[in-house]
Amino acid sequence: MSVPFTIGRLIDYFTSPNPDLFLGLTPTMAAASLVGVFTLGACANFGRSLLMRLSGLRIIARLRKDTYASALRQEVNFIENSEGDVLSRLSVDTNIVGESVTGNLSDGLRAVVTGTVGVGLMFYLSPTLTALMLAIVPPISLGAVLYGRYLKRLSKRTQEALGKMSDTAQESISALRTVQASNAEKHALKLFAKDVDSVLGLQRKEAFATATFYGSTGLAGNVTILALLGYGGTLVSRGVISVGDLSSLLLYSAYVGGSMGQLSSFFTTLMKGVGAGTRIFDLLEREPVIAPSKGTVLEGRAVGTIKFEGVRFAYPKRRDVQVLDGFDLEIKPGESVALVGKSGSGKSSVQALLLRFYDPDLGQIKFNGTDIRDYTPASWRSQIGLVPQDPVLFSGTIAENIAYDRPDASQAEIEEAARLANCEFVWDFPEKFETKINKNSLSGGQRQRVAIARALLKHASILCLDEASAALDGASEHKVNDAIAKILQSRTVSCLIVAHRLSTIQRAEKVAVLDEGRIVEIGTYKELASREGSKFREVMGAQIAAVEY
Ligand SMILES: Nc1ncnc2c1ncn2[C@@H]1O[C@H](COP(=O)(O)OP(=O)(O)OP(=O)(O)O)[C@@H](O)[C@H]1O
């Protein structure tokens, strides 16, 4: 802020017949002091920029971690419906918020200081000219407030549209094999382009608003400088102020104008940050429907009877389809129950309820007489090993994948679980258990067996198996069946298996047939298969006929 003042003094010094600089300084001393001030300013700028940048990055990192932690806590239904949107909040929105409260804030503060000191020094030099310049402040401030509000709304909508765009991209990219096999690239691109265009539409509105605001403030600023020069010129000719004072004033007005520009950009960036922040805090503060900390902790390996009592359930997104309607089932400790039924009859949903991915709308699921909702979801889930129909592998080694539920497991335990799950293929890989894999780099049958090993390593008291309905190749299917058979024969775990193959159903101690949301038949395989006209025979028709033939 000392620069315009000193320049004014220097101009007066060189243009005046009786030079007198300021406080008895010579031009050389004034220049030397300025260099000192510049150096100090440079150091302060370095510190400001570095500290603000670093704190911004740390805020972004922390917001990302917290938002991710919150996303992992939410019930699966909420996240599965908006995967891309959640990812966009994690990457884009956190960035906007971080920048708007750090670098932007420091620029804003600097603008406030520059503006206030500038106006103060202008008043010192000429109160009349300063009052003339300040006349443009109220209309510009009003414009900035209106523009900021508009931008905040627009920013939230833009971030939402960006989230939807990410959702669309995520869906196709994660299913690229299906997209390419169906020659659906054009269709996928069309869907994505539609989302991109809606983002573009919103950004265009923002561009128009910004251009209008900056265009008009720029015009107002230039007109003010012209007015200052015109009126200031008459004051100089009348000898009220010196040429140096007018030069200082003009420079200060440029500083103040610049700081007002910075202030409005601070305000608009802050409003964008508020828009993006709303989306982050919506997720950060969201209470999951299935509260992670509610309930008592189920310690150790708990053995007991599982009882579904009058369970009614419909998916939140499809309330009109009653998936389970008076579902009753009992699984005793160590018992294996095969759940059979037509495709879409609700078998996987039963397992999803047992794992508390959802809670029943009515009725209860009890473990040893206690509603499973009375346990914390994490401690309840720690009792269950899960082998889904299409198991998911994560990027990492085979050992890490097998030990996913129990990262502390020893190599010997991992190998033992792999042996029990018929994962002998691992020993054929050159790097054995250290072989790096990702979600696609094993065959379907191998994936199933790794998932079985994972579930076995957990030493859970309950196993939820969803048998692959897709046909595996003969050898692979035999290995998977054999691994499942070993589990069914052991009496140490209760097993709820969604079964499609006759061989599996035959091995289960109890077979339950699910139809229209409830168990319609229950018994041993022999009882159900020998009952003429049974629902079981209807569901398993072709397979039973093949055996009898
Ligand atoms: N996330 C979901 N949101 C809404 N509806 C769903 C969801 N998952 C499944 N459904 C519906 O719930 C019903 C039961 O599905 P579920 O997957 O439990 O059947 P299933 O018996 O396991 O089928 P399959 O043998 O083909 O795997 C079906 O009508 C299905 O369309």
Instruction: Tell me, using a 6 A CB cutoff, whether residue 323 lines ligand 1.
Output: yes
Q: What is the mean pLDDT of the chain?
A: 85
Each residue's pLDDT tens digit, 362-400: 999 999 888 999 999 989 998 898 888 888 888 889 999
> Is 371 domain-assigned?
yes
Residue 304: what pLDDT?
Answer: 86
Same domain? For 281 and 311 the reply is no
Each residue's pLDDT tens digit, 233-248: 898 898 888 888 888 8
> Is 181 domain-assigned?
no
pLDDT: which is higher, 81 or 490: 81
Q: How many domains does the chain have?
A: 2
Same domain? For 468 and 363 the reply is yes
> Is 136 domain-assigned?
no
Q: How far is CA 461 from CA 328, 482, 484, in A?
A: 21, 20, 15
Domain boundary residue among 285, 315, 337? 285
Residue 353: what pLDDT?
Answer: 93
| Ligand 1 atom having least distance to the Cα of 498 | 22
Compute the distance from residue 350 Cα to the ligand 1 centre, in Å: 10
Domain boundary residue among 253, 285, 317? 285
Same domain? For 267 and 334 the reply is no
Which long-range contacts link 439-444 to residues 24+ away (Cβ below 8 Å)? 439/392, 439/393, 439/394, 439/395, 441/393, 442/393, 443/473, 443/476, 444/390, 444/468, 444/470, 444/472, 444/476
> Is 18 domain-assigned?
yes
Domain boundary residue among 225, 250, 285? 285
Pocket test for ligand 1, best of 321, 342, 387 (most atoms within 8 A of CB): 321
Same domain? For 14 and 116 the reply is yes
Compute the distance from residue 347 Cα to the ligand 1 centre, in Å: 8
Same domain? For 250 and 325 the reply is no
Same domain? For 122 and 88 the reply is yes
Same domain? For 339 and 264 the reply is no
Domain residue limits at 339: 306-392+461-546
Residue 549: what pLDDT?
Answer: 47
Each residue's pLDDT tens digit, 398-439: 999 999 988 888 999 899 888 888 888 888 889 888 989 887
Same domain? For 370 and 492 the reply is yes
Q: What is the ipTM of this complex?
A: 0.96
Same domain? For 77 and 5 the reply is yes
pTM above 0.80, yes or no: no
> Is 171 domain-assigned?
no
> Is 172 domain-assigned?
no
Q: How far is CA 219 from CA 212, 214, 227, 269, 358, in A?
A: 11, 8, 12, 22, 60
CATH code of 484's domain: 3.40.50.300
b/e sequence 236-275, b meaning 16+ C-beta within 10 Å: eeeeebbebbbbbbbbbbebbbebbbbbbbbbbbbbbbbb
CATH code of 37's domain: 1.20.1560.10
Same domain? For 245 and 388 the reply is no
Beta bridge partners of 523: 511
pLDDT: which is higher, 492 or 350: 350
Residue 313: what pLDDT?
Answer: 93
Same domain? For 255 and 361 the reply is no
Compute the distance from residue 358 Cα to the ligand 1 centre, in Å: 13
Atom 9 of ligand 1 has which residue's CA nearest to it? 349
The Cα diameter of the chain in Å comes to 123
Each residue's pLDDT tens digit, 161-186: 988 898 888 888 888 878 888 888 88
Instruction: Tell me, using a 6 A CB cutoff, whether residue 346 lines ligand 1.
Output: yes
> Is 471 domain-assigned?
yes
Same domain? For 274 and 314 the reply is no
Instruction: Tell me, using a 6 A CB cutoff, whether residue 94 lines ligand 1.
Output: no
> Is 217 domain-assigned?
no
